[in-house]
Amino acid sequence: MVGSTAFLDIEHGKMGQCYELKSIIDAIPWNKDGLITAIAQDGQSKDVLMLAWINRDALLETLNTRQVCYWSRSRKCLWRKGESSGHRQKLIEARLDCDGDSILFLVEQTGPACHTNRPNCFYLGLNTQHATILTQPI
């Protein structure tokens, strides 16, 4: 187990090497609002479901409860995915990217991931001429 951490040190780490969680969280380059992006991906289908924001508290809650929690920038509070809709995300695995500025949550999604009731938030296809809706609400 390695204590104090810089992400450049991790680039040279060996497979299976472990780092203390606190040192990793302390090394994350949180933005001026204390946030990084979080991508939710279906653990089975590998579909990208959504992108949101997390802060330190949301990350720790997610890791501890195994229910994905984000930070709502509009409401300025923790947002426990599915708290009101029931469309929860159960955490399968969490992965931090090489720069430490984005996290990937592999999840088991209950119901639609998007507030529009579509399977995911990426339902608008773009090309040089048009934007086309690709999926129906569930």
CATH of the domain at 84: 3.10.20.810
Q: How many domains does the chain contain in total?
A: 1
- 18 annotated among ligand-binding-site residues: no
What is the model's pLDDT at position 12? Answer: 83
Residue closest to 36 by CA, chosen among 19, 51, 21: 51
pLDDT per position as a tens digit, 57-79: 999 999 999 999 999 999 999 99
Please report whether residue 122 resides in a domain: no
What is the chain's percent helix, strand, coil content, to nearest 5? 15, 35, 50
Known binding residue 114? Answer is yes
User: Which ranges constitute the DSSP H helices of 7-93?
Assistant: 7-10, 21-27, 56-65
Q: Is 53 contained in some domain?
A: yes
- The token pair at 13 is 């780490």
**97 is known to lie in a ligand binding site:** yes
- 77 annotated ligand binder: no
101 belongs to an annotated ligand binding site? yes
Does a structural domain hold residue 138? no
- Model's pTM, two decimal places? 0.91
